[in-house]
Amino acid sequence: MTKTGNRSSSAVEDYLERIQELIETKGYARVVDIAGSLGISQASVTNMVKRLDAEGFVRHEKYRGLVLTEEGESIAKAIGKRHRILTDFLNLLGVASAEVERDVEGMEHHLSADSLEAIESLCRELSSNPELLLRIKRSERESK
Amino acid sequence: MTKTGNRSSSAVEDYLERIQELIETKGYARVVDIAGSLGISQASVTNMVKRLDAEGFVRHEKYRGLVLTEEGESIAKAIGKRHRILTDFLNLLGVASAEVERDVEGMEHHLSADSLEAIESLCRELSSNPELLLRIKRSERESK
DNA sequence: TAAATAAATTAGCCAAGGCTAATTTTCATG
DNA sequence: CATGAAAATTAGCCTTGGCTAATTTATTTA
Ligand SMILES: [Mn+2]
Ligand SMILES: [Mn+2]
Ligand SMILES: [Mn+2]
Ligand SMILES: [Mn+2]
């Protein structure tokens, strides 16, 4: 049986998610890019990359490039999906962009598959129901 | 002006929330109670209590009791509210209890006031709209 | 009230995940 | 193709927040 229960830390998830995005958009993910993009020092990124390699999430040749393994990519995709669904959700509710960004970046690491699916369905419903969204936003303005 | 921007760590918030709950339900919060309730060693709790005292969130006399300051209580109340609203939300969506517990315990530390209010309004709306909830749950079952 | 038990604290340890400064390797460019 | 700049790594440090084992203080009970 494949070991499947190993939850990754928030930091590991953030790194993998960002590495995947960089590869997707630029074709590669250098230490310097990851560092800039996460707002972290290059030294810290080098350390983490070493760890991600040791744990089998990336393959890394010193002073050379960086590639996601199957497992690393699968985690990256999963966290990316959680990120998108939560972003979608808070955007639908009309939360301001800067706050959506911060909230999602934290919450995405604490969502079970069930909660994720429930919120996904909720978003589908909300999207196709603009009057409902209006009622919610009105109710928000009243309560403050 | 009062310093108001000092975000507390997740750990600090969890401790304060639990201390407040213990005081509310048992009248006091001993180190041993906090430890048992958070699943953490007594030694670790003693350390954190020292820190919470140093930072002005509790007042603590060695080998004696523990009391929340105004500021500590205010943080505890705020995190308690986030906890309740998120719990409410996931319960409404029909997520299983054990998962609700875990998810909420993590997510509650990453919710801005705006997101919180939006979700609160959403819950009001969902509560008074059982057919909507049904549609969401149906849509959930389909999609899996 | 003395002894046993419970609670709290201290001492010393560890891993995660950051940082800066110094060094090494690679790359670009004249 | 030599050299300066850019990228990456290493070394050494720090804080947070856990842990166990040993000790100290408070409380209960015989
Ligand atoms: Mn994140
Ligand atoms: Mn993310
Ligand atoms: Mn929590
Ligand atoms: Mn909580």
Cβ contact B99:A114 at 8 Å: yes
Q: What is the DSSP letter of B108?
A: G
pLDDT more than 90, % of chain A = 89
Mean pLDDT to the nearest integer, B64-80? 96
Enter the tokens of residue A2: 């494949």
Mean pLDDT to the nearest integer, A38-62? 97
Question: Which pTM was predicted?
Answer: 0.92
Going from N- to C-terminal start, the domains of chain B cover 10-75, 78-142
Strand C bases contacted by the protein (CB, 7 Å):
6-12, 16-22, 25-26
Query: What local confidence, expressed as pLDDT, does residue A20 receive?
Result: 98
Q: Chain B: which residues have CB within 8 Å of chain A?
A: 90, 93-96, 99-100, 102-103, 105-107, 109-112, 114-115, 117-122, 124-125, 129, 132, 135-137, 139-140, 143-144
Quick check: A106 pLDDT over 90? yes
Report the gap between the CA of A102 and the closest CA in chain B (Å). 8
Least confidently predicted of A57-61, A140-144, B36-40: A140-144
Query: What local confidence, expressed as pLDDT, does residue A5 receive?
Result: 58
Quick check: A130 pLDDT over 80? yes
pLDDT per residue as tens digits for the range B41-53: 999 999 999 999 9
Mean model confidence pLDDT for chain B: 94
Distance from C-alpha of B55 to C-alpha of B66, rounded to nearest angstrom = 14
Query: What local confidence, expressed as pLDDT, does residue B3 receive?
Result: 42
Buried residues in B2-27 as b, exposed as e (16+ CB within 10 A): eeeeeebeeebbbbbbbbbebbeeee
Phi then psi for A67, rounded to 5 degrees?
A: -140, 140
For A78-142, CATH gives 1.10.60.10
Mean pLDDT to the nearest integer, A73-93? 97
CA nearest A99: which of B41, B133, B119?
B119
Quick check: B1 pLDDT over 50? no
Quick check: A2 pLDDT over 70? no
Strand C close to A39 by CB, under 7 A = yes
Three-state helix/strand/coil letters over A77-142 = HHHHHHHHHHHHHHHHCCCCHHHHHHHHHHHHHHCCHHHHHHHHHHHHHHHCCHHHHHHHHHHHHH
Query: What local confidence, expressed as pLDDT, does residue B5 receive?
Result: 59
Query: What local confidence, expressed as pLDDT, does residue A51 receive?
Result: 97
Mean pLDDT to the nearest integer, A22-51? 97
Report the gap between the CA of B2 and the closest CA in chain A (Å). 23
Q: A10-75: which CATH topology?
A: Arc Repressor Mutant, subunit A (1.10.10)
Distance from C-alpha of B43 to C-alpha of B49, rounded to nearest angstrom = 10
- A-B CB pairs within 8 A amount to 97
Distance from C-alpha of B87 to C-alpha of A91, rounded to nearest angstrom = 21
Mean pLDDT to the nearest integer, A46-75? 96
User: In this structure, are strands B66-68 and B58-60 parallel, antiparallel, or unpaired?
Assistant: antiparallel
Mean pLDDT to the nearest integer, A17-22? 98
Mean pLDDT to the nearest integer, B68-95? 97
Quick check: B68 pLDDT over 90? yes
Contacts with A94 (C-beta within 8 Å, 6 or more apart), sequence order: A133, A137, A140, B118
CA nearest A105: which of A91, A86, A122, A123?
A86
